[in-house]
Structure 1
């Protein structure tokens, strides 16, 4: 059986300087912050406990990547961020599109969306 994992990709780049810019941007102008995945799942002190519990309870391993890390690892053209992919062996399938994540208003919306997509994939 091939390895399966869920890849959450932020609409932000990695690195300390970028993290500091994002931190300040979320405080100064939260409504204009470009990563709804970050905005929903993280507070100014890090990943929200409810979200951490949710991803830990998912039936497959979860990976979090920034967009620069995603491009470096997968070199996958035409990706809109934030997004969620399902990786099965060498295959990468879009699980949740950026517009779907951007329509979420809170953790409950995002968690329901991810659960719904996983049901569709597993056929349950």
Structure 2
């Protein structure tokens, strides 16, 4: 993915208070937690180790909604993965597609498909 950049925008807001609410929600009612991307990339209290390794191999920027919207136009729905090539958006992976992913392995496969399509 040499000339591709990935932006992962979670369906969550930044800050310690929001993080505490998110953790509580994941513990009390994980089935109703509204960020499928968070479910793949994070454990309850920290980032998933397999995802951390994936980040070391790919140019991935992570954003909460408020952080993203401070620098870029708002997206219609979150979570979303935005694929950029030379700064331009070339693909959006929407929340429905993200909801189909079950693991970091599925995410790796999706990224490999995107990379192959750009080769």
TM-score in same-fold range (> 0.5): yes
Q: Distance in 1 between matches of 2:18 and 2:115?
A: 31
Q: 2:61 aligns with which of 47, 60, 63?
A: 63
The structure 1 segments of at least 4 consecutive aligned residues displaced by more than 6 Å after TM superposition are none
Q: Give the secondary-structure state (helix, strand or coil) at the position aligned to 1:43.
A: coil
Q: Which runs of 5+ in 2 are unaligned?
A: none
Instruction: Give the SS at the match of 2:12.
Output: coil
Which of 78, 81, 88 is equivalent to 1:81? 78
Distance 2:64 2:91 in 1: 16
Question: More strand per residue: 1 or 2?
Answer: 1
2-side partners of 1:79 and 1:97: how far apart?
Answer: 9
Q: Structure 2: how far apart are the matches of 1:14 and 1:118?
A: 30
Residues matched between the structures, number: 117
Please give the secondary structure, in 1, of the residue aligned with 2:71: helix
| Unpaired stretches in structure 1, ≥5 consecutive residues | none
1:13 maps to 2:10: no
What is the RMSD computed on CA atoms of the aligned residues?
1.7
Q: Conserved in 2, the CA contact under 8 Å of 1:95 and 1:117?
A: no
User: What is the TM-score when the length of structure 2 is the normalising length?
Assistant: 0.86
